[in-house]
Chain A
Amino acid sequence: MMLVIGPHNRDKHMDTLEESFRVRHDIYVKERGWKALAHDDGLEYDQFDREDTIYFLRLSKDGRVIGGSRLIPTTGPTLISEVFPQLVEWGSVPFDPSTYEHTRYFARGCPKENLSTSRVSGEVLCAIFEYCLAHHIENVTTVCDTFFLPMILEFEWGTKPLGLPVKYDEGECVAIRTPISYRGLQSIYAQRHISGPVLPELVPMVVQRAYLTEQLEETLH
């Protein structure tokens, strides 16, 4: 099951949110060794885990967090604006009500290399696209390890770089912007063998509308 936590329901899901911070600690601090993220309480959270952060958490049947990610509006402080502004060379640092920033993309028991094939991580991606389509979020920015860029391009989302790759302590990263489209969502469904919407409460109406709009635009062109 996919749980979306936002300002509207955050209070109801504090336990699940805390568990997701614990899972993130296991993955980012223990497995990947990002020491800078460590807290004494065994949880991993940072200045971008805020009241207005939107979480996409994939829960197992028994309610445990097995994957997830988060979005934050670019009209507030973001990882790119606060930590990695040097990654933006072309154009300005994203600041736009219809652009959100995507960070902390993880799947439990799934090494970094397998993120690109895991079904759970695919469902998290679908949740982000479905949510964005439903909420008129047109672009998603992210800072990714350069190694993953070819896999992102393979989806044919129309992803564009915001600058050149830059080396940092743990490797090399690049800032990118991805336009959200129904076609892009479909390419995740196909690639990960996901038969349909993972946020059934948002669909079919919203996704259907996005689909029809794109069809119409195509016909008109």
Chain B
Amino acid sequence: MPPQVASSALDFVDAIEHNTSKEDVIRLFTKELRLRGFDSFGSAEIPSAARPFAPCLYVSTMPEGWVERYVEMEYVQSDPMARLATMTSTPFRWTEATNAISLDPNEETVMNEICEFGVNEGLVVPIHAHRGYCGAVTFAGGTTDLDPRQLNELYMMSMFAHNRLRALHIADVANDSEPQVQLTPRECECLHWAANGKSDWAISQILKISEHTVHEHVERAKKKYNVSTRVQAIVLAILQGQVRP
């Protein structure tokens, strides 16, 4: 039987499940990361080949001036730490990373500017999820000789915190937006396959329904979106998240 180790990491995982507000996650997570020698953190989606959408910052408690600048200048596009996060799956320190990869001039700028805000070192936890989603949790500060166990605890907590912050963000967006067109599961499936270049005939074979029925499903989806081509219907369905490409 392994020794029973009391850990605030597990308490954190339990606590954020029942805390639905972003502020609660920030407060609890900040307490944990400070215990481990870090000052602040940020959590964001990083644009990747599969999801080249506008970058999305869920939360950042880093110096305010820096966060504003980062968002305004779209630094995520030239942040070497974001680039590296899309390519690796294990946590890495900023200094490790800048030693391991060569930075282009834009990337140098980003790293130099954050130093001006008094942040010289940090830790990045890359997050990879379904359908090519890439995100990261970044910690600013920290001692160079972080205890491996504490690092491991931060790693674990980051995955749970990121998932919660992302879910809260998605819920926020859904609450803000207009009521959506509702497609039936069959309409979604037909558009999904059409988006993948399948003909009505091919879709009818995949879904084991008649070609005519496939056509009807697509026509109904077009009508719901009030558009005249199936490409328009596919684009809207994907943008509204009813169909995943």
Contacts and interface: CB of A to CB of B under 8 A. Distances in A.
A161 B169 CA distance: 24
Interface residues of B, number: 34
A96 interface: no
Interface stretch (B8-16, B108-116, B173-181, B231-239): B8-16
Given A89-B5, A161-B156, A151 B189 contact: no
A98 interface: no
Given A117-B131, A151-B128, A153-B160, A160 B189 contact: no
A212 to B, nearest CB: 21
Contacts of B7: 89-90, 164
B162 interface: yes
A195 interface: yes
Given A89-B7, A165-B152, A150 B2 contact: no
Contacts of B128: 147, 150-151
Contact of B188 (A90, A172, A193): A193
Interface in A114-162: 116-117, 146-147, 149-151, 153-154, 156, 158, 160-161
A213 interface: no
A164 B163 contact: no
Given A153-B160, A160-B13, A161-B10, A117 B130 contact: yes
Contacts of A151: 128-130
B185 interface: yes
Nearest to B135: A150
A150 B137 CA distance: 12
Given A150-B127, A150-B128, A193-B188, A172 B90 contact: yes
A193 B189 contact: yes
15 contacts: A85-B2, A88-B2, A89-B2, A116-B129, A116-B130, A150-B128, A150-B162, A154-B130, A160-B13, A161-B13, A164-B156, A165-B156, A193-B185, A193-B192, A195-B189
The 4 closest A-B pairs by CB, nearest first: A153-B163, A164-B152, A150-B129, A150-B127
Interface of A: 85-86, 88-90, 92-93, 116-117, 146-147, 149-151, 153-154, 156, 158, 160-161, 163-165, 172, 174, 191, 193, 195
Given A89-B7, A164-B7, A193-B189, 4 more contacts: A92-B1, A117-B131, A147-B89, A150-B129
